[in-house]
Amino acid sequence: MKKLILKNFQSPGDIVMLTAAVRDLHKSNPGKFITDVRTPCGPLWENSPWITPIDDADPEAETIQCDYPLIHQSNTGPWHFIHGFIQFLASHLKVPVTPSDFKGDIHISEVEKSWISQVQEVVGSELPFWLIVAGGKNDFTIKWWDQERYQQVVDHFKGKILFVQVGAKEHAHPPLKGVLDLRGKTDLRQVVRLMYHAQGVLCPVTFFMHLAAAVPVKPGMPKSRPCVVVAGGREPSQWEAYPQHQFIHTNGALRCCDEGGCWKSRTAPIGDGDDKDKPENLCIDVVEKVGKVAKGSERFLPKCMDLISSKQVIDRIEMYFQGGAIQYLSSDENQVANKALQAQKD
pLDDT digits (tens, 9 = 90+) for 244-266: 999 999 999 999 999 999 999 99
For residue 323, count other CB atoms closer than 10 A to its CB. 10
CA distance 71 to 82: 10
Phi and psi angles of residue 142, each rounded to the nearest 5 degrees, phi first = -65, -15
Q: Please, what is the Cα angle at 131 between 127 and 135, to 5 degrees?
A: 155
pLDDT, position 289: 77
Q: Per mean pLDDT, which range of 209-223, 228-242, 288-302 is the poorest?
A: 288-302
Question: Domain residues of the chain, as ranges?
Answer: 2-93, 116-345
Asked whether residue 298 carries a pLDDT value surpassing 90, the answer given is no
CATH topology of domain 116-345: Rossmann fold (3.40.50)
Euclidean distance between CA atoms 92 and 7, whole angstroms: 14
- What pLDDT does 294 receive? 63
Ordered strands of the 33-38 beta sheet: 33-38, 2-7, 61-65
- Phi, psi torsion values for 123, nearest 5 degrees: -80, -35
> For residues 220 and 37, what is the distance between their CA atoms, to the nearest angstrom?
33
Distance CA 165, CA 133 (A): 6
Which of 201, 153, 192, 191 minimizes the C-alpha distance to 169?
191
Assign 345 a pLDDT band (cuts: 50, 70, 90): confident
pLDDT at 84 over 60: yes
Q: What is the pLDDT of residue 297?
A: 62
Taking the C-alpha atoms of residue 38 and residue 318, their distance in angstroms, rounded to an integer, is 41
CA–CA separation, 88 vs 90, rounded Å?
5
Question: Would you place residue 291 in the very low, low, confident or very high pLDDT band (cuts 50, 70, 90)?
Answer: low
- Give the distance, in angstroms, between the CA of residue 254 and the centroid of all CA atoms in the same chain: 25
Q: What is the pLDDT of residues 99-140, one digit of tens each?
A: 999 999 999 999 999 999 999 999 999 999 999 999 999 899
pLDDT at 4 over 60: yes
Long-range CB contacts (within 8 A, 24+) of 63-70: 63/4, 63/5, 63/7, 64/4, 64/5, 64/6, 64/7, 64/89, 64/92, 65/7, 65/8, 66/6, 66/7, 66/8, 66/18, 66/21, 67/8, 68/14, 68/17
Cα–Cα dist 60/47, whole Å:
24
111, exposed or middle or buried, with CB in 10 Å at 0-12, 13-18, 19+?
Answer: exposed
Per-residue pLDDT for 296 more than 60?
no
Average pLDDT, the chain: 96
Cα torsion angle, 11, 14, 19, 22, sign: negative
pLDDT in the model for residue 346: 80
DSSP lists the bridge partners of residue 230 as 204, 248
